[in-house]
Chains A and B, each alone.
Chain A
Amino acid sequence: MVKLAETDIREDGEAVLRARLARLEGVLADEVRKSETLARVTEAVASSNDIDTCVQVVIDGAREISGAAFGAFFYNQLEPDGESYALYRLSGAAPEAFASFPKVRKTEVFAPTFENTAVVRSDDITLDPRYGRNAPRKGMPEGHLPVRSYLAIPVATRQGEVLGGLFFGHPEAGRFSPRDETLLVGLGAQVAATIESIKLNTDSRAELNHRRKAEERLKFALDSGRMGSWDLDVATKAYEASDLCKANYGRRPDESFTFADLVATIHPEDRPRILAAIETAIRDGAEYDVEYRVVHPTGELRWLHARGRAAQTADDGGVRRLAGVSLDITERKRAEERQKLLVNELNHRVKNSLATAQSIAAQTLRSVAAPEYFRDAFETRLIALSQTHDLLTRESWAGASLREVFDVELHAMAGEDRVSFDYAGDVRLNPKAAVALGMGIHELATNAVKYGALSTPDGRVAVEWSQQDGVLRLAWTESGGPPVTPPARRGFGVRLLERGLAAELSGGVELTYDATGLVCQMALPLRALEP
């Protein structure tokens, strides 16, 4: 019996020991499992780079560790009412479970969490003195997940900023141990650190992105304006130039381009002025705004406009960096020069035209028999001059053809249809020759209408010309008019044709008073006529 009893006792003791061992092994296994979970969660948290994933990993893991039925994370995002907090991650429950109450109010139960004052762990929250004190619900609202065991951990940065809260629940009482609390508080701290670092990263990424975009915009603006940008370190004379800036100085992007190269590229005549401007900008922090010529390595001369200003001021108040832009303005400079030339040329023409009008007036006054004839004679000549000008203006003062000059001068004259033309080729005239011949033709035509072939109904004028050996030979032959005799005194027309035109066009002009009519023969070198 004893033996049996002993055996029994031994067996009893062994059973107890085995049970204890088994329980301890269970606890140990549980602890190992929790540790493994914790390690896995910790790693997942540390490697997550968005807040939602991080939070989800934590509440899933924490639920696994604590055996909670439900887990949730509420962000500390104050709703406009100033009293409630927005949900955002769930574990162990479908989102629909919270669909009707996605916000948490800062009631007495929740206050310690959202104010970061304490962890709340309760074996049965429904028995907690803080529970059920808030109107209108006085406890959990209808349809709420059934919670008795309750664990709430504030998630806050080290500076005390509350990011949100981790909440865990179970429908049965007494499910969360102090050990669970310790582990989950540790997780909460990790969540806080991770959220903070993710936010920081996001902020700096956004900042970087913003800067990159601003830089892209700037580059686009500079490129579309063909502007080069540059930066000079005042102390070391280290010079940085963008590709376009290098191009402005005739350098390829891969070529080195130092400050010394820059100075050497500036036209020697402009160099002292530019160096002085740089010096002033550095010394006084003055605006640097200069136009100068550069000589590219190919020898090409270009105009540049550079602007810059002190980009950074040294501790002693002096300028440390000078930065700015440069722009090739060669085309603008050439256009300015062209415009200046054009304005000068126009002024010259206007003044010459005035002198011509003055001459016509003076000579008309000398040649008219009585002052009352002056006005008509003067106006007719002035208009003849103006008609040639109109013709030239239509062709941008590039020139006009001989036939065109005849046509404008004979236009609307009596007997215009009785003037015949015979020539092999038209002749291009430069503006000066066109004006001179225009006046000459006008004098011939006026004379013919007043006294010559065109003064009678049957008179005719034959205009013929030919070109040979660089000479234009032109004949104006009147016939069928009244008998002509040489004039008693040389009038304006005769003088203009025989002296003026001949001299101006370096040729010869001869008037013959044939019995059949006036003949005007011109021999003019083409070099004096052609544009």
Chain B
Amino acid sequence: MTALSALKVLVVEDEALVSMLVEDMLTDLGCTIVGPAAEIEEALKLATTADIDAALLDVNLGGRPIFPVADALKARGVPFAFASGYGEAGLTEDHKGATVLQKPFREADLRRVLESLVGQTA
């Protein structure tokens, strides 16, 4: 129904309730969920090996920054967006300018971000 149908999206989110919400939204958008990963190690493994089209990354995983995962995705050329309560302020210099979804966000916001991410690579 949209360009997002069958899009495989890696979800990295360490809070159960938020993660469930994102899953529901992605399911509604017709995407396939990879993960969700709540820990850096698992997220890194999926980011480097899993078959994914895009990723949505929580900036802070239980006090540990997500940036190694972002770097791995960048290296693979997988587009990603940060989902964060910190907004742009929580990003390191390397990632300033990256797409950020400010929590809380609506399904429409997620759709727009994903479309722009996929558009970048298309």
Contact = CB atoms under 8 A, between A and B. Distances in A.
Interface of A: 344, 347-352, 354-360, 362-363, 366, 430, 432, 435-436, 439, 495-496, 499-501, 503-506, 528
Contacts of B16: 436, 439, 496, 499-501, 503-504
B68 interface: no
Nearest to A495: B20
21 contacts: A347-B87, A349-B85, A351-B102, A352-B103, A354-B103, A355-B17, A355-B18, A355-B85, A355-B104, A359-B20, A359-B21, A435-B15, A436-B16, A499-B20, A500-B20, A501-B16, A503-B16, A503-B36, A503-B38, A504-B15, A505-B38
A490 to B, nearest CB: 12
A439 B17 contact: yes
A356 B17 CA distance: 6
B36 to A, nearest CB: 6
Contacts of B62: 430, 432, 528
Q: How large is the interface on B (under 10, 10 to 19, 20 to 34, 35 or more residues)?
A: 20 to 34
Given A348-B90, A359-B17, 13 more contacts: A348-B60, A351-B86, A354-B103, A355-B21, A355-B104, A355-B105, A430-B62, A432-B15, A432-B62, A439-B17, A503-B19, A504-B16, A528-B39
Given A358-B104, A432-B62, A506-B39, A351 B17 contact: no
A436 B103 contact: no
Main secondary structure of the interface of B (DSSP, over half): mixed
Interface of B: 14-21, 24, 36, 38-39, 60, 62, 84-87, 89-90, 102-105
Contacts of A430: 62
Given A358-B21, A500-B20, A351 B103 contact: yes
A54 B55 CA distance: 101
Contact of A344 (B14, B17, B86): B86
A528 B23 CA distance: 22
A528 B21 CA distance: 21
A506 B41 CA distance: 11
Contact of B15 (A356, A362, A528): A356
Nearest to B62: A432
B66 to A, nearest CB: 13
A359 B83 CA distance: 15
